[in-house]
Structure 1
Amino acid sequence: MNQKTLGIIALVCSPAMLIEGLRHNLKPVPNELTDPTGALLYAAFSIGWLCSMIGLRRLRAAGDGQAGRYLLDLTLASITLAILQTPMDLLKLPTSHPLYLVTDLAWPASMLLTFVVSVAALFARALPGWTRFVPMLCGISVPLTLLLTLLLGRELPGLLMLLHTAVAWALLGWVVYRSNPQGPAPLRPQLAA
């Protein structure tokens, strides 16, 4: 799949969480009450996110070294685990099931790893100009929400968080779409011959 296709998928999928939030009038829905449409919307968002991270990996956004590749590989693995929550929601697997718990923990782990990737992208300077700051817009979602919740003493309005998510991930999809990779980064480090 080329960068443009990855970017288009990311752009199309970026508002999925916003749509899910609006479906429920911005009220949180417990995991055990996730309906099929909600599960598919979460999967769509995650697939777009995965495509963006694949695009960033191809761009070597976290750096040319082994650490940058492994960081993005770990992020890709955690997002993939988060996506696996969808079939469990569709099959109504109990939320107490160990596999469900792993996929549920993969969501915040993926967000945290996205933050680490965004910091690495700032330092690596592999993305040109202002685009190097776009991953940070995605990466700060959870830390910013937690910080503002602590400072304000209450949770941020859901619409604000969902709008930020839709815009930030759409921008990331745009960066991937408009990028010109040096060629795919190898999946495994190359051994000297």
Structure 2
Amino acid sequence: MTCDHALERMLEADPVELRPDGETELARHIAACEHCGAIAATLWAELAGLDRALTEYGESADPDAAAVAALAGVPRSGSTPAPKRSGPRRRGAGRRPRALPPVGSPRTWIPLAAAAALAAVLLIGRSGPPPPAPDAVIDAGGPATRVSVTPPPDRGAAVLETANPSITIVWLYEREGS
């Protein structure tokens, strides 16, 4: 097992599997690899601390404040030490579901295949040449006239005539000191 694979498995594993004295392939790797063993020990300690804090807070009127305080390690006022849990812990209890499906599962490649099919339809599925673009210049049929702009008293105006007589730019701006 490689360290990358072990790290991925550690994030999905039941906390009991993070102990190096287990019989699983992950436990054997944790026991043999100093780097992964240190990470597993840190994960084990953090999970145990979080479990103790959440047990101490139990149900609260303000769950958001209780979660923030539990993560910060703030003791609950008037609380007694958290009792130890008895019995084995359920596999996966307290874990959040994965945001992404495991690599290689159909839930991974089906959306990718759908995206590829959609891209193929959009890029290749067009038949014939693209539609013609509308004319950019509209001819009014009369002679070009100069534009005259009277701005409000607190503003100024600049009229810019371009090389194309059909295009004139009018720029309104605030006067200094207004």
Q: TM-score, structure 1 length as denominator?
A: 0.25
Select the structure with the greater relative contact order (CA < 8 A; seq sep ≥ 6): 1
The structure whose residues are more often strand, as a share, is: 2
Look at both structures and tell me which one has the larger radius of gyration over its CA atoms.
Answer: 2
The structure whose residues are more often helix, as a share, is: 1
